[in-house]
Amino acid sequence: MKSKCLCLLVIALTVATHLSAFTVNDKSTPDSINIIKLNKQAYNNRLTDPNETILQARKNVVLAQKINFDNGVAEAYRVIGIGYDYVSQPDTALNYFFKALAIFQSTNNQDGEAKVNNNIGNLYHESDYEKSIEYFNEALNIASRVKDQDLIATINLNFGNIYYRKKNFTKALDYYTKSNELFIKVGNATNSILCSQNIGVIYYNLNQFDKAETLLLDANKRAKEKDLNAAVASINLTLTSLFEKKGEFAQAEKYLAEGLTYALLVKSSKLEYDYKLTKYELEFTRRDYKAALFSLQDVYKLDSIRYKNNVSNSLSLLTVQYKQIESQHNNEMLAAQQKKQQILFWATILVASLLLVVIFLLISNVNSKAKTNKHLTALNEKITEQKENLNQINHHLEEIIDERTKDLQVKNKKLADYSLHLSHQIRGPIATLKGLLNLEKDRLIDKDECVKLMNKCVSEIDDNIIDMSDMLHESSNKPV
């Protein structure tokens, strides 16, 4: 039994080892919970300091890799990609998004997969509307399946951005309004500010300046309260253009200067370029052509830099695409290996289960046999005991029979003796009777004398018979 128990223990340990190998990721341990918290902090910094977002998320990658927390690594990659998107490095952002997507797919994290598709759609929203919509639709399908209301609101916001760039302001406004309602419902104040900003931009483009000003100033105030530097910079661009259209140049210059400060703070080259161009437009509208010329020179320099950066980015994008193909191949290999490991795992579980069943049956069989043998042994002992009792009884009976036989032999001998004695005792009186009868027949004896003598003979015969009966009766009453 000890060897069987040891065998069971070994199998249990083997199964436990396999199970632990497949359940290392995504445990609700203090370390993994801390990484989730750090990733969320890094993500929240995107509107304040995207460079800090990148630095913090890189540290989170290392921390998550140390504890084999794959979803933590993937989320950190996604946040790094968002940081690079905010500092206008789309090629690097795309690289990190694909890294995150591959891991989320391997761990079957649908919520993470939807978020990355949404982020990739954002990268394309200014250059390729159809590609952007394709990724947004994929993200929306998954988000609807997992019922992530906050993500659904974000995707609606991004759809609004697409239709805004297509100049379909009515449809854009519908998406922004729907998105804002969802953000308020789930308590996402940050994205609600972005919705207010975008709705204000729509009203600006519809020349409803009063509505636009109210919404943009409210969004500006709330963004400052939450230290959303990138949002403030973006809002102030529209406020500058709005006050320029209204002819309130002092207000326009105020928000332009303030917004440029925030743009420099978040180190966004795109926002810096937009502010240089907006400054040129403001100076030109004010008919300060000299200042406008200087602003135009700055715009030209930035255009030149952007052209060089675009060439560099294009080359980098080709490199990234090549790496992505290689990474995809590696991911496919990894997925195949993981599938093989899963098959092996379930096969091991099945074999272990069958072994446990066989061992259970063997143990049950052994226990049943042992119980049967024990019962048979008890029966054999009982039969042996009964046999001994029968032998004793038979032996006692033989003794009794021997004694009875001897007694019968003695009685038979006595009976023979008595019979012989009786025959002698009775024959005498009977012979006398015969003689008397003959005498009486011949009238040789007196009749009375004959009767008297005959009575005497009968009495003797009767006495002898009684004596013999008493002797036999006495012999039969003797104890055995």
What is the tens place of the pLDDT at every residue in 401-443? 888 888 778 777 777 777 777 677 777 888 888 888 888 788 8
Which structure tokens are listed for 437? 């009868």
- Integer angstrom CA distances of residue 400 from 374, 396, 479: 39, 6, 12
What is the tens place of the pLDDT at every residue in 99-151? 999 999 999 999 999 999 999 998 887 778 888 889 999 999 998 998 889 98
Q: What is the pLDDT of residue 308?
A: 42
Q: What is the pLDDT of residue 295?
A: 54
Q: Are 280 and 292 in contact (CB under 8 A)?
A: yes
What is the tens place of the pLDDT at every residue in 252-305? 888 888 888 888 887 777 777 787 778 777 677 766 555 555 555 555 444 444
Helix, strand, or coil here: 25? coil
Q: What angle do CA 6, 9, 14 make, to 5 degrees?
A: 130
What is the tens place of the pLDDT at every residue in 33-59? 999 999 999 998 887 888 999 999 999
Fold of 1-108: 1.25.40
Which residues, 6 or more positions from 16, have their beta carbon under 8 angstroms from its beta carbon?
Answer: none
The more confidently predicted of residues 462 and 106 is 106
Q: In the Cβ-directed half-sphere of 406, how many Cα atoms lie within 13 Å? A: 6
The more confidently predicted of residues 7 and 364 is 364
Q: Provide the pLDDT confidence category of residue 83 given band limits of 50, 70 and 90.
A: very high
Which residues, 6 or more positions from 48, have their beta carbon under 8 angstroms from its beta carbon?
Answer: 227, 228, 229, 230, 266
**23 has a pLDDT exceeding 60:** no
Residue type, 286: R
Q: What is the pLDDT of residue 71?
A: 93
Q: What is the pLDDT of residue 287?
A: 64
φ/ψ region of 445 (left if φ > 0, alpha if ψ in -120 to 50, else beta) reads beta
Q: Provide the pLDDT confidence category of residue 321 given band limits of 50, 70 and 90.
A: low
Q: Are 140 and 155 in contact (CB under 8 A)?
A: yes
Q: What is the mean pLDDT of residues 87-107?
A: 92
Return the percentage of the chain with pLDDT > 90, whole number.
21
Q: In the Cβ-directed half-sphere of 45, how many Cα atoms lie within 13 Å? A: 21
Of 61, 134, 50, 136, nearest in space to 93 by CA = 50
Extents of the domains making up the chain: 1-108
φ/ψ region of 25 (left if φ > 0, alpha if ψ in -120 to 50, else beta) reads beta
Highest mean pLDDT among 5-19, 21-35, 229-243, 263-277: 229-243
Q: What is the pLDDT of residue 292?
A: 52
Which structure tokens are listed for 158? 């991004």
